Amino acid sequence: MDLSGKVAIVTGSARGIGRAIALKLAEAGADIVVNDIAAASDSLESVANEIRALNRQALAVTADVSSKDDVNRMVDAAANTFGHIDIMVNNAGVTRDQLIMRMTDEEWDTVLNIDLKSAFLCTRAVLRHMLRQRSGRIVSIASIVGITGNAGQANYAAAKAGIIAFTRSLAKEAGSRGITANAVAPGFIETKMTEKLGDKQRQTFLERVPLGVSGTPRDVAEAVAFLASEEAKYITGQVLCVDGGLALG
Ligand code: NAP
C-alpha cells in the first residue's frame, strides 16, 4: 500500500483510533492533517511529532468538527499548506449513553452533531477540492451499533446508521468524479471510549465476539488505509466491519 504524495485529514486524531489511523497513513507515505477539539491539543501536537519522526509532514489543527466555521478553517489550512486534499477520514466521535426515556435533548444533539453532522461538514468542505481533482477517498468511521442498534445508545446508533446512509448517498453522488466513499464499522476496540465500561459489561461483549478478543486501534487503521489506497479503487458505498465477527449476532 503506497500513499506517497497523498494528503489526508484525520479528525479526532489526538488519541485512540484516530491517532492509529493518522500514523498508519503516514507510514504508508501520506502527509497528514491531524485534528482534535481544544481539550486534547497537547496530545495532538505529540501525534504530529510522531508523524514528523516518520519523515512525513504533519499539520495540527485544533477545531471542533461539529462547527461549520472550524471545519472550513481546518480544510482551508490543509489546502493552503499542501495544495491538495486526497483522503478525508471522518473519525471524531463521542458517546452520551442513556436510556431513551431519560435521554436529554443535549445528549441527543451532542452525539448527532459530533458523530454525524461533522461528517457532512467535513465532506462538503473537502468535496470542492476533490471534485476539481477528479479523485478522492472519503472514509467515515461508523460502528456496528449503527447496524445492530444497542440499548442505551439510541443517539449514538442513530448517528452511526446515519453515517452509513450518508456514505452510500455520497458514493452515488461523487462516483462519476473518481471519488470513493466507504465506512468502517468497528466493534469492541480498546480505547478511552470503551475504558469506561465495567468488567462485567466488557466480559458480556467479549463473550459475543466470535474471535474471542477485543480489537485494537491498529486493526481499524489497517482497514481505513486499505480503503484509502489505490488497491481499493473499485470499492465504494461499502461498510467494512472490523469487529471480530461481533455484528454477526
Ligand atoms: P476516543 O478515544 O474517545 O477518541 C475520540 C477523539 O475524538 C478524541 O481525541 C476526542 O477529543 C476527539 N473529539 C471529540 N469531539 C470532537 C470534536 N467535536 N471535534 C474534534 N475532535 C473531537 O474514541 P475512539 O474509540 O478512538 O473512537 C474513534 C471513532 O471510532 C469514533 O467515531 C467512535 O464512535 C468510533 N468507534 C469506536 C469504537 C470503540 O470500541 N472504541 C467502536 C465503534 C466505533 P477529546 O479527548 O477532547 O474529547
Question: pLDDT tens for residues 154-192?
Answer: 999 999 999 999 999 999 999 999 999 999 999 999 998
User: Rounded to the nearest whole angstrom, what is the distance from the C-alpha of residue 228 to the centroid of ligand 1?
Assistant: 20
Q: What angle do CA 17, 20, 22 make, to 5 degrees?
A: 110
User: Rounded to the nearest whole angstrom, what is the distance from the C-alpha of residue 134 to the centroid of ligand 1?
Assistant: 30
Q: Is 91 in the pocket of ligand 1 (CB under 6 A)?
A: yes
Tell me the C-alpha distance between 72 and 208, whole Å.
41
Specify the pTM.
0.98
pLDDT (tens digit per residue) in 61-79: 999 999 999 999 999 999 9
Q: 249 pLDDT exceeds 90?
A: no
**Does residue 234 carry a catalytic annotation?**
no
pLDDT (tens digit per residue) in 187-237: 999 998 888 888 888 888 899 999 999 999 999 999 999 999 999 999 999
Q: Is 143 in the pocket of ligand 1 (CB under 6 A)?
A: yes
Residue 40: its pLDDT value, please?
59
Nine-digit cell string for 222? 489497517
pLDDT (tens digit per residue) in 76-115: 999 999 999 999 999 999 999 999 999 999 999 999 999 9
In this structure, the dihedral spanned by the alpha carbons of residues 14, 19, 23 and 29, taken in order and rounded to 10 degrees, is: -80
User: Rounded to the nearest whole angstrom, what is the distance from the C-alpha of residue 176 to the centroid of ligand 1?
Assistant: 31
Q: Is 22 in the pocket of ligand 1 (CB under 6 A)?
A: no
CA of 15, closest atom in ligand 1: 9
Residue 41: its pLDDT value, please?
61
The stretch 109-124 carries a mean pLDDT of 98
Q: Is 93 in the pocket of ligand 1 (CB under 6 A)?
A: yes
**Helix %, strand %, coil % of the chain (to 5):** 55, 15, 30
Pocket test for ligand 1, best of 94, 112, 184, 195 (most atoms within 8 A of CB): 94
The rounded percent of the chain whose pLDDT value lies above 70 is: 99
DSSP 8-state assignment for residue 149:
-
Q: Is 89 in the pocket of ligand 1 (CB under 6 A)?
A: no
The stretch 24-44 carries a mean pLDDT of 90
Tell me the C-alpha distance between 167 and 170, whole Å.
5
Query: What are the Cα distances from residue 42, in Å, to 22, 67, 231?
Result: 16, 21, 35
Q: 25 pLDDT exceeds 70?
A: yes
Catalytic residue among 82, 156, 166, 226, which?
156
CA of 160, closest atom in ligand 1: 34
CA of 189, closest atom in ligand 1: 40
With CA atoms as reference, report the closest residue to 62 among 82, 103, 92, 104: 92
- Per the listing, cell 489497517 goes with 222
User: Rounded to the nearest whole angstrom, what is the distance from the C-alpha of residue 94 to the centroid of ligand 1?
Assistant: 5
User: Rounded to the nearest whole angstrom, what is the distance from the C-alpha of residue 14 to the centroid of ligand 1?
Assistant: 9
